[in-house]
Amino acid sequence: MSLRAPLARVLGYGSTQDGVRHWRAQRLTAYALVPLTVWLLLALIRVPLSDYAAVTAWIASGWNPVLLGLAVLAMSWHSQLGVQVVIEDYVHGATAKGTLLLLSKFGHVLLAAGGSYAVLRVAMRGF
Amino acid sequence: MRARPLSPHLSVYRFTHTMALSILHRIAGLYMAVGLLLLVAWLMAAAQGEDSYELFVARWSGGWIRLLLMGWLAAFVYHFMNGIRHLFWDAGIALERVPSRRSAWLVITATVIVLALSGYLLFCPQAGAP
């Protein structure tokens, strides 16, 4: 048991690199996802998913492509932040942890880019 | 680099319902990360044209995908409601023992109801298949 004050123990270790940025981004994306995911869920229930024409018509109509694109981006970002914390907490060993964090980041960027591209491609059909 | 001070980890705490809900939040989140993969694959299939979309639908239909969908729906409802609990806590609301236990039960009950309801709708023959 150390007699040093908690503050004195952490001072002098330098920056933690991240500060509150991760926490704030997680909250920001959570707020955005509250309306976006409810909208997406209701749409997915209503649209007949096995009907190609109906699905693409829904994706392309009105504000749907914009909201769908934003939903995919926010979900990818929020997911990356969450998976990152899980890896940081439960994977031990610098190599395994670093590799998994890198793979998760690349994977989530791929999802964000792929989802945006796919939505745009369906929405732009016929232009 | 000197070793950094770590916060106390799992092993120092007595297991309580708050821990169960917390770990379930992470599991539901991870499961939905896999769901995001499927969502993007679905959008990509729609973008590739009718043939690839039909192929996607054919591959991702049947009883087992309904089971997975049920899981995603339950995971979403749980993570969504529990996430809102966290957002209220951030504002310092309902953080005390009694209200937090009450909201915990609300989240669990809602999840079980959605799970049961979606199970009935997805597996009952006259209800529409996804």
Q: Do A59 and B43 lie within an 8 Å CB cutoff?
A: yes
pLDDT at B10: 66
User: Residue A10 above 80 pLDDT?
Assistant: no
Q: What is the pLDDT averaged over residues A80-98? A: 94
Q: Give the mean model confidence (pLDDT) for residues A68-79.
A: 98
* SS3 category, B70: helix
Supply B106's token pair. Answer: 């609300």
The residues, any chain, with a CB within 8 Å of residue A97's CB and separated by 6 or more, are A87, A88, A91
Amino acid identity, position A11: L
Tokens of A89: 């907490």
* The token pair that represents B61 in the structure block: 């239909």
Is the predicted pLDDT of residue A89 greater than 70, yes or no?
yes
In chain A, which residues touch B (CB < 8 A)? 9-10, 13, 16, 27, 30-31, 34, 37, 41, 49-50, 52, 55-56, 59, 68, 72, 75-76, 79, 82-83, 86, 111, 114-115, 117-119, 121-122
What is the DSSP annotation of B39-88? HHHHHHHHHH-HHHHHHHHHHT-SHHHHHHHHHHHHHHHHHHHHHHHHHH
The answer to whether the CB atoms of A37 and B80 lie below 8 A apart is yes
The string of pLDDT tens digits covering residues A24-36 is 999 999 999 999 9
Give the C-alpha separation, A90 to B9, whole Å. Answer: 11
Task: Give chain A's mean pLDDT.
Answer: 92
Residue B7 has a pLDDT of 72
Residue type, B113: I
What's the ipTM? 0.87
Residue recorded with tokens 């969908």 = B69
- Residue-wise pLDDT tens for chain B (130 aa)? 567 777 766 677 777 888 889 999 999 999 999 999 999 999 999 999 999 999 999 999 888 888 999 999 999 999 999 999 999 999 999 889 899 999 999 999 999 999 999 888 888 765 544 4
Which residue of chain A has the CA closest to B53? A52
